[in-house]
Structure 1
Amino acid sequence: MEIQENYAELSLLTVMCYDRYVSICKPLHYGILLGSRACAHMAAAAWASAFLNALMHTANTFSLPLCHGNALGQFCEIPQILKLSCSHSNLKELWLIAVSSCLVLGCFVFIVFSYVQIFRAVLRIPSEQGRHKAFSTCFPHLTVVFLFVSTAIFAHLKPSSISSPALDMALSVLYSVVPPALNPLIYSLRNKDLSAAVRRLMIGWYHKH
């Protein structure tokens, strides 16, 4: 289900945000707060909570009787499935959606609060080079968060007058497929060796064409 994939992505973005918060605001405690074991535990918690959330939604959704057809115009989203149901038991699913929304809101609030603290710490750095390095550490993560949140909000809150199957599909791809696909590329490009390899590859492709 798409809503659970989005929750898993937001959970991982929240863990990455915490990584940046500790590295900038509490650099002396980074090794203690974010050792390899702590990172593994946080990643496992994010995936496990997303899996359990998805399991509850999936079990409840597939128990609903469908009496308005079985064709969906876009990805398999829970609100779209509920429109096809003729059972009053979908109130349970709506309750689960409300719980998931609270979890998503909690992650979003944590990210916003962390970046407020990060920006306050960065602005207190005396050297311009230090501020630039700190901002460059946060920029890839902020880019993915902005793309994910902005497209998800627009997809779910856009006026019905501009809604269309093609637009809904494009927005679904933008916030459910593109951010997870960009994560490894964006974060890996901070590695100097990989950046140099990509640069050489682009130069070689340019000379061939």
Structure 2
Amino acid sequence: MHEDNHSIISEFILVGLSDSQELQNFLFVIFLSIYIITVGGNVYIIFAYTFSSSLHTPMYFFLANFSFLDICYITGTVPKMLANFLSEQKTISIYGCAIQMYCVWLLGGTECYILAAMAYDRYNAICHPLLYKVIVNNVICMQLIIGSWIIGAINSLIHTVLTFSLTFCSNKINHFFCDAPPVLELSCTSTWINELVIFHIGGCVIIGSFILIMMSYVKIISTVLKVHSTSGRWRTFSTCTSHLIVVTIFYGSGIFMYFRPKSSYGMHQDRVVSVMYTVVAPMLNPFVYSLRNSEVKLAMKRILYQLLKF
């Protein structure tokens, strides 16, 4: 019976955020606007970094990579969600579901360690300013980026393979994208191994990178507190505030989603939380980093001035 059901299911139905067609039309406009703003804002940061030599530093190198990740991250979920808002079928093939899950976990895991790399960069800039250019050189930056992608790829592959090795008795996913917890709900067989893997291996990625970030900030704060003047302390720590805001949004919603008792799962609640780290966080990042950053704004003014001259 299990094998028959598994063979019959060739596609899943994504329930989405609402059953109301009127609300879906409204949500289509909202999420389309968010998608355009997110892609435009992150392209803005990549453009500023690429064409402004003053931004060719490790901090902005990591930020440009982070912006690229955010574009990919939101593209992994929102376009399909927008299509489903306008469609009656709201289906996704089992292979499309597996690809979407792999991409979301890949990009999410990679973002965790790029955020950790950004914290490491700020730690060295504040705590070891004289050795900063030696410690955080181009080779180290590339190694940190490549290492982040490798960790994300391995983590994602494990979760995706284990999830789609299960037998499914239903094809109705109570979510707006193919995430591991809602897909596991459809399994006919026991999912305790999958849940154990999410908790432990996923924990190593999310909690492990979060601990690295916190360790960096403990060192940063202890160094900042040694600065005698209040204005000096704030000026030194201000380079970290944007990063801390992004870390709070991303890790707060991610930890709530994946590291709590299964008995506390609520699909409507989970969908709202998922929107926070898959849609809202990528949209806010360009505003947090560019609107609060005078160097990025000055670089863009210079680029625009040069373009207008031509």
Q: TM-score, normalised by structure 1?
A: 0.80
Question: For residues 7 and 193 of structure 1, do their structure 2 counterparts lie closer, same or farther at Cα, with a shift above 3 Å needed?
Answer: closer
Matching residue of 2:28: none
Gaps of 5+ in 1: 199-209
Residues 107-186 of structure 1 correspond to what in structure 2 (within 5 A)?
A: 107-156=209-258, 157=260, 163=266, 165=268, 167-186=269-288
Please tell me whether the aligned partners of residues 174 and 267 of structure 2 are also in contact (alpha carbons under 8 angstroms).
Answer: no
Gaps of 5+ in 2: 1-100, 302-310
- Distance across 2 between alignment mates of 1:51 and 1:116: 29
Please tell me whether the aligned partners of residues 4 and 54 of structure 1 are also in contact (alpha carbons under 8 angstroms).
Answer: yes
RMSD of aligned Cα (Å): 2.7
**Alpha-carbon offset, residue 139 of structure 1:** 0.3
Deviations 1:171-203 (A, max 9, x none): 1111223323433443344243516868xxxxx
Matching residue of 1:93: 194
Identity, % of aligned pairs?
Answer: 37
Deviations 1:157-179 (A, max 9, x none): 499789452x4322111122332
Matching residue of 2:4: none
1:71 matched to 2:172? The reply is yes
- Distance across 1 between alignment mates of 2:215 and 2:122: 12
- Distance across 1 between alignment mates of 2:264 and 2:147: 40
Query: Number of aligned pairs?
Result: 195
Name the SS of the counterpart of 2:173 in structure 1. Answer: coil
**Alpha-carbon offset, residue 36 of structure 1:** 1.6
Please tell me whether the aligned partners of residues 7 and 104 of structure 1 are also in contact (alpha carbons under 8 angstroms).
Answer: yes
1:9 matched to 2:111? The reply is yes
Please tell me whether the aligned partners of residues 105 and 152 of structure 2 are also in contact (alpha carbons under 8 angstroms).
Answer: no
Q: TM-score, normalised by structure 2?
A: 0.56
* 2:166 counterpart letter in structure 1: L
**Alpha-carbon offset, residue 76 of structure 1:** 1.7
Name the SS of the counterpart of 1:27 in structure 2. Answer: coil
